[in-house]
């Protein structure tokens, strides 16, 4: 196999990557580091009203022809309250974030004012709109505030909170399984065996994955054994990504490459770089996934061509061996409820009622005989197997 360049290997890895599709809602305060699944828009205007950018006095510019003008203080407006319309020729004591009263067109910061005896001397002639933050100056209602695909930073969740978003839709975390091969590996805190080393790669790799916001499943140290390596791959295959460390070179104790080939497919394993030349990249699939159950058989037909009335025990009331669905209910010795063939009212505990073998012989009787009686009494027919019933 020819060596791949670093850029070629990276391109193949990125081409094989498949983004996570599942979306979950999380509290906005817990969304840092998550990836936003849908764009978010503001449902409100920010700020919602014209408000003061300073602690000071709300005034009419027309009432201040020169610096040093004194005006009576007509009201006090802290943040979180709404004042009354400003009476001409007066000033309103106002605090940062408080709505500017109707009629005021400037706010003079308190450092430029002198307050005494219910009046204030304004030592500055303001310009129109000075120190006023206008409604919608930051965000207009309906504007997109966060684009889909944004990896949310602390300032992003602060922005979302400022428009009242309590939760955010994010993609679920990438599930990554990791394991580390090598009989020589020990964990920090353990005594090193002769010829051993500490598993430092575990800590570096888990730190990198944690910083990326991955959900990490650590399978620990795997011995240098092909069967153990294959078992670890099968165990890890339920994750979105499996990352291993060690065992991908060509030595007799390197089993990852062979294990990946045995459990799936290997796409590349040598890169023209040092260190890091041996790299196994491929696909493994879980082997313990059960196939979907077969669809239920169609209901049997009655004599008149219509569907037979269902058993009172529901869809499970069928003979487990022949799958017939006759009319008289009984109890199976195996612990299942089903309806034996017509006439089988006393099933024996030694075998299934109405259970002829593939050769046409029942488990307890002769050819086409009923399993629940030693001697047939009346000719009847099972709706599925065409075997005689008692």
Q: What is the tens place of the pLDDT at every residue in 261-308?
A: 888 888 766 888 888 787 778 888 766 544 455 666 665 555 544 444
DSSP characters for 202-229? HHHHHHHHHHTT-EEEEEEEE-S-HHHH
Please measure the distance between the N-terminal and C-terminal CA atoms of the chain and give it in whole angstroms: 70
Q: Give the CA count within 13 Å in the CB-facing half-sphere of 384.
A: 21
For the record, the structure tokens of 295 come out as 């669809």
Q: Are 26 and 170 in contact (CB under 8 A)?
A: yes
Listed residue (233, 225, 188, 184) closest to 206, CA to CA: 188
281 versus 122: which is more confidently predicted? 122
Alpha-carbon span 292 to 290, nearest angstrom: 6
Q: What is the tens place of the pLDDT at every residue in 191-238?
A: 998 999 999 999 999 999 999 999 999 999 999 889 999 999 999 999
The overall pTM is greater than 0.75: no
Listed residue (301, 333, 336) closest to 318, CA to CA: 336
Listed residue (307, 303, 311) closest to 330, CA to CA: 311
Listed residue (190, 54, 198, 196) closest to 132, CA to CA: 54
Quick count: other Cβ atoms within 10 Å of Cβ 41? 15
Residue 99 has pLDDT above 90, yes or no: yes
For the record, the structure tokens of 287 come out as 């082997």
For the record, the structure tokens of 75 come out as 């009201």
For the record, the structure tokens of 345 come out as 């009212």
Q: Rounded to the nearest 5 degrees, what angle is found at the Cα of 61, between the Cα atoms of 56 and 67?
A: 75
pLDDT given at position 97: 95
- Please, what are the domains in the chain? 21-44+138-171 (3.90.105.10), 51-133 (2.170.190.11), 175-284 (3.40.980.10), 315-390 (no CATH)
Please tell me whether residue 181 adopts helix, strand or coil conformation: strand
Alpha-carbon span 83 to 238, nearest angstrom: 62
Q: What is the tens place of the pLDDT at every residue in 10-33?
A: 998 899 888 999 999 999 999 999
């Amino acid at each position: 196999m020819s060596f791949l360049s670093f850029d070629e290997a990276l391109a193949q890895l990125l081409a094989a990557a498949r983004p996570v599709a599942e979306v979950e809602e999380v509290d906005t305060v817990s969304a840092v580091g998550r990836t936003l699944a849908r764009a978010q828009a503001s449902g409100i205007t920010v700020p919602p009203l014209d408000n003061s950018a300073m602690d000071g006095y709300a005034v009419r510019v027309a009432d201040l022809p020169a610096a040093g003008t004194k005006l009576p203080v007509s009201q006090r407006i802290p943040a979180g309250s709404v004042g009354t319309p400003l009476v001409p020729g007066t000033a309103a004591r106002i605090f940062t974030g408080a709505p500017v009263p109707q009629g005021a067109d400037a706010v003079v910061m308190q450092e430029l004012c002198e307050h005494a005896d219910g009046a204030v001397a304004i030592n500055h002639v303001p310009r129109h709109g000075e120190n006023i933050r206008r409604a919608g100056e930051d965000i207009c209602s309906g504007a997109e505030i966060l684009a889909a695909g944004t990896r949310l930073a602390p300032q992003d969740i602060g922005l979302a909170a400022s428009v009242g978003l309590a939760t955010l839709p994010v993609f679920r975390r990438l599930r990554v399984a990791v394991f580390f091969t090598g009989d020589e590996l020990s964990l920090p805190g353990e005594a090193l065996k002769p010829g051993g080393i500490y598993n430092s790669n575990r800590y570096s790799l888990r730190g990198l994955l944690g910083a990326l916001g991955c959900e990490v499943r650590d399978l620990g140290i795997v011995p240098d054994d092909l069967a153990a390596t294959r078992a670890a791959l099968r165990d890890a295959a339920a994750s979105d990504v499996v990352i291993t460390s060690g065992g991908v070179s060509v030595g007799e104790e390197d089993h990852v490459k062979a294990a990946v080939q045995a459990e799936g497919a290997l796409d590349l394993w040598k890169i023209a770089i040092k260190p890091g030349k041996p790299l196994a990249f491929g696909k493994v699939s879980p082997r313990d996934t059960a196939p979907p159950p077969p669809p239920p058989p169609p209901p049997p037909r009655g004599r008149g061509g219509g569907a037979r009335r269902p058993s009172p025990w529901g869809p499970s009331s069928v003979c487990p061996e022949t799958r017939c669905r006759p009319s008289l209910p009984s109890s199976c010795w195996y612990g299942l409820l089903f309806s034996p063939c017509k006439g089988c009212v006393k099933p024996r505990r030694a075998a299934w009622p109405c259970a002829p073998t593939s050769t046409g012989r029942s488990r307890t009787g002769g050819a086409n005989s009923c399993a629940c009686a030693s001697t047939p009494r009346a000719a009847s027919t099972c709706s599925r197997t065409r075997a005689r019933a008692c």
